[in-house]
Amino acid sequence: MAESSKDMVNDTGKTLQSLGEDSPEFMASFGKFMAEAKKEGNISPKVKELILVGMALVLRCHYCVAFHAKDAIEKGVTKKELVEVAALAVMMGGGPVATYLNYLYDAMEEFGAK
């Protein structure tokens, strides 16, 4: 791969930080929206991250896959759980999604999925 998962997460963080400097009101609102969407509710934050990984795969956003795989692993999601979500994403998105699984496998390795 041209860019590691850790690099993608760091790049995304830098870009969002720059956006926050250039548009602080927007990023404050966006940050609040994200925090609200990801907080504990009827669905746990761990399950929400699994959903987000599956959505990132179906949307074929390799930066999103890296970012949400990292967050999922930090919340205790296992490699087996991530692989099961990947299978569901392939079920919904077909072959094009399967070509993005390398991003998930790289992220699982880099972020230490157990």
pTM metric for this prediction: 0.90
Q: Which domain holds residue 23?
A: 5-110
Q: How far apart are CA 5 and CA 98, in angstroms?
A: 17
Nearest to 76 by CA among 36, 113, 101, 37: 113
pLDDT digits 0-9 by tens, 35-81 = 999 999 999 999 999 999 999 999 999 999 999 999 999 999 999 99
Which CATH number does the domain housing residue 47 bear? 1.20.1290.10
Q: How far apart are CA 111 and CA 66, in angstroms?
A: 9
Strand, coil or helix: what is 75?
Answer: coil
Per-residue burial over 70-102, b = 16 or more CB atoms within 10 Å of its CB, e = otherwise:
bbbbeeebeeebbeebbebbbeebeeebeebbe
pLDDT digits 0-9 by tens, 24-33 = 999 999 999 9
**Cβ(58)–Cβ(103) below 8 Å:** no
Counting the structural domains of the chain, the total is: 1
**Cβ(70)–Cβ(99) below 8 Å:** no
